Structure 1
Amino acid sequence: MRNAVIVQTKRTPIGKKNGMFRNLSPYELAAPILRHLADGIEGNIDDVILGNVTGPGGNVARVSVLEAGLPLSVPGLTLDRQCSAGLEAIRLACHLIQGSAGKCYIAGGVESTSTSPFPARARFSPDKIGDPDMGVAAECVAQKFRISKDKQDEYALVSYQRSWEAFKSAYFAEEIIPIDQWKIDEEFIRERNIEALLKRAKPLFLKENGTVTAANSCGIHDGASAALVMEEETARQLGFKPILRFVDSQVLGVEPSLPGFAPVPTIQELLKRNNVSVEDIDLIEINEAFASKIIACAQELSIPFEKLNVSGGALTIGHPYGASGSILVTRLFYEVQRRKEAKYVLAAIGSGGGIGVAVLFEAVK
């Protein structure tokens, strides 16, 4: 079976809904990433796979390919697995390479919530099962796993501090392709007094015994991210240095009211099948949609916070739905290059409808 490796990853800055990217379509956000990753190897690209959740409909990936000026022969595939769509795109590209369907893919995701034509979210689950909004579902996770507001606020503070430390250390600058004049995530234009915000923020979704607030939840954002995924021997022949080698992946469903719990059984199954443990994983990225989700996953999987979301995440920079899973991989791509001792790394995300996606990589030495 062929090895799939990641040789490049990039993302745009992340903008707030109706913020700095308010007039940019998904295609205009994705195209600069595609052009950068395809530069010099345009004729080798088998396909572009992009996750997208709130877009205008149609084949967003194909339009993005054309907007980027890639060869007409590159078809483009758009998929929607809600918040895990960007990670699913990378997962799919890796499995296609393993199965000899192709040798070179650009895979990731894009979201323009600012230009979305939809006033409300899509349905996650039938009414007979229950279809809670994600915030209510985050409260369900907090209640089930007895996660207090104080615990959520404590994690949100740590995540915010880590994000700002990473920004000031120019870690995020390595990840980003500027869009027009924008070179940094919109959140970093002005530093907030997060401690005061956490104390002041009130529960949003449950009036009685509520714990989830605007300060310990992510916002709604715009952005794009993608990875250049190649068959390993082909990558080396073309002069690329593989950084992450795909090991395996897992997708599982859970109760739709507990999407934040979905990474737990998904990661457990993935690690069990590959005969590795959490102790063997050096870096873990789990999307920070809500602090309750991260704490639940850390508790149930016994993940030390020292190896989890080490440069912060969506609680600070934001959650552009379809792109977020790819951003996790982008973060791991650059982080393993700063941590030479890292061997195994893992990206995971839980999404609307109760779906977990997890992907295991090994660092290529």
Structure 2
Amino acid sequence: MTEVVIAAGVRTPFTGRSRALGEVDEAQLAAAAVNEAARRAAWTPEAVILGSCIGPGGNVGRRAALAAGLGMQTPGWSVDAQCGSGMVAVQQGIAHVAVTGSAVCAGGVESPSTAPTRSLHGVPYARAPFTPEGYADPDMLEAADELARRRGISRQRQEHYALRSHELARHQVDLLAAERVSVPRTTGPTSAEQPDPVRDDDGPRPMAPQLLARFPTLRESPDLPRTGSPHNGATVTAATTARIADGAAALLLMPGSPHSGETAPPPAGPQWTVRSAVTVGGDPALPGEIPAAAIRRACQQAGLGVDDLAAVELVEAFSAQVLACLDDLGLAGGDEVDPRVNAAGGALALGHPWGASGAAVVVRLIHRLAAAPLGAYGVASCAIGGGMASALVLERTA
């Protein structure tokens, strides 16, 4: 198999549902990231693989390839693995490059603002089932509250982690700007009437402990009073939950070394070599705790321990979910979090475009490793509704 490297990775701004990117079609949103990843890598991908979980269908991978101007000869396909869609798409891209030796663009996109309403027998519903009958299928908010209850993760600790995410993101302006590409707005029939493109995220926000303490919990235990205690009711609030957002992320994957019949030469610029990539299953009732197992498996396959990692990136769907994983990995204790973890904040500060977030943490990882020495390792991971998680380990090799 061919060694696979990441030659470039970018994301669009992340903006709240129905806000700055609210009128941008998901194919156009993804095309902005695909084009910029290809430009930075100075190479045209021969296929596009995109994750998306609530979009209108129609194969956003192919639509984005055409919208990006890659030509009718460039195939594209799509992946639905819920919040892990973008990372699983990247893993498919890695496998495709390893087998074919051709460069691909892989990532994810989500546009909740333009997603259609789904219905079954004429009745609208918020989401499709994640599991068949006979298995637990909790709402993700319910699962996060239950995970916090079982692990004894207090509301105060969740709020402290959320504050950390916002503060780190507010202080890493240059890193966040380096990973973004602007997106043209699509209002107005002519280019002369187009407003300025969207360049910035609409998070993070200034936060204070006193403000977070005022948020009500988002749900109540059906059997227990709402007290704010991890053992006597719900603890998850809007402040400790990632905002729904529109956004896209894409990475240019290439062969890392020449071989017979290869169509893409090794990249000449910075590169990050894929050392392992895994997707694992676990309890559908508690999907938020499974990334710890995925990270351990990915590190094991790469011949590493957690202590060998220079950077760790997790999708911050909920504070409780991240903290449970960090506790399992020995990367947190009380309010203290290992500084290698999400050092520029995460989805709690910037938003969570479901199908894109798994790819966005890989984009963040390569930009963080770009400032690390050659030979530095990092891992990215995300939880997946239905009881799964994905992770991959990268090494900075140029």
TM-score range, shorter chain: over 0.9
Q: Which amino acid counterpart does residue 291 of structure 2 have in structure 1?
A: P
Question: Which of 166, 187, 192 is the equivalent residue of 2:203?
Answer: 187
How far is the alpha carbon of 1:42 from its aligned partner?
9.1
Q: Do structure 1's residue 7 and structure 2's residue 7 form an aligned pair?
A: yes
Map of 1:73 onto structure 2? 73
Q: Distance in 2 between matches of 1:361 and 1:264?
A: 17
Q: Distance in 2 between matches of 1:166 and 1:39?
A: 24
Q: Distance in 1 between matches of 2:56 and 2:69?
A: 20
The count of corresponding residues between Structure 1 and Structure 2 is 360
TM-score (norm 2): 0.86
Query: Do the aligned partners of 1:283 and 1:342 also contact (CA within 8 Å) in 2?
Result: no
How far is the alpha carbon of 1:272 from its aligned partner?
2.6
How far is the alpha carbon of 1:43 from its aligned partner?
8.2
Q: Distance in 1 between matches of 2:265 and 2:151?
A: 50
Q: Distance in 2 between matches of 1:320 and 1:264?
A: 22
Deviations 1:183-228 (A, max 9, x none): 110125xx43343331111211225311100001101110000000
Whose helix proportion is higher, 1 or 2? 1
Question: Runs of 5+ in structure 1 lacking a partner?
Answer: none
Query: Do the aligned partners of 2:30 and 2:248 also contact (CA within 8 Å) in 1?
Result: yes
Q: Distance in 1 between matches of 2:280 and 2:15?
A: 30
Map of 1:174 onto structure 2? 178
- Which 10-residue stretch deviates more, 238-247 or 307-316? 238-247
Map of 1:137 onto structure 2? 143
Q: Distance in 2 between matches of 1:257 and 1:239?
A: 43
Query: Do the aligned partners of 1:10 and 1:177 also contact (CA within 8 Å) in 2?
Result: yes
Query: Do the aligned partners of 2:46 and 2:102 also contact (CA within 8 Å) in 1?
Result: yes
Q: Do structure 1's residue 164 and structure 2's residue 192 form an aligned pair?
A: no
> Percent of aligned positions with the same letter in both sequences?
33
Q: Do structure 1's residue 258 and structure 2's residue 272 form an aligned pair?
A: no
Q: Do structure 1's residue 205 and structure 2's residue 211 form an aligned pair?
A: no
Deviations 1:22-64 (A, max 9, x none): 1111111011222223349898522100000110012111111
Query: Do the aligned partners of 2:41 and 2:267 also contact (CA within 8 Å) in 1?
Result: no
Question: Which of 203, 210, 225 is the equivalent residue of 2:249?
Answer: 225
Q: Distance in 1 between matches of 2:351 and 2:152?
A: 25
Map of 1:151 onto structure 2? 157
TM-score (norm 1): 0.93
Q: Distance in 2 between matches of 1:239 and 1:131?
A: 44
Deviations 1:283-335 (A, max 9, x none): 11010000001110110011252111111000010000111011101111111
Deviations 1:136-194 (A, max 9, x none): 01012111211111111111111110011112xx2111011111221110125xx4334
How far is the alpha carbon of 1:340 from its aligned partner?
2.5
Bigger Rg, which one: 2
Query: Do the aligned partners of 2:377 and 2:395 also contact (CA within 8 Å) in 1?
Result: yes
Q: Distance in 2 between matches of 1:194 and 1:322?
A: 30
Q: Do structure 1's residue 314 and structure 2's residue 330 form an aligned pair?
A: no
Question: Runs of 5+ in structure 2 lacking a partner?
Answer: 119-125, 185-196, 227-232, 333-337
- Which 10-residue stretch deviates more, 35-44 or 120-129? 35-44
Deviations 1:246-269 (A, max 9, x none): 011111111111111111222222
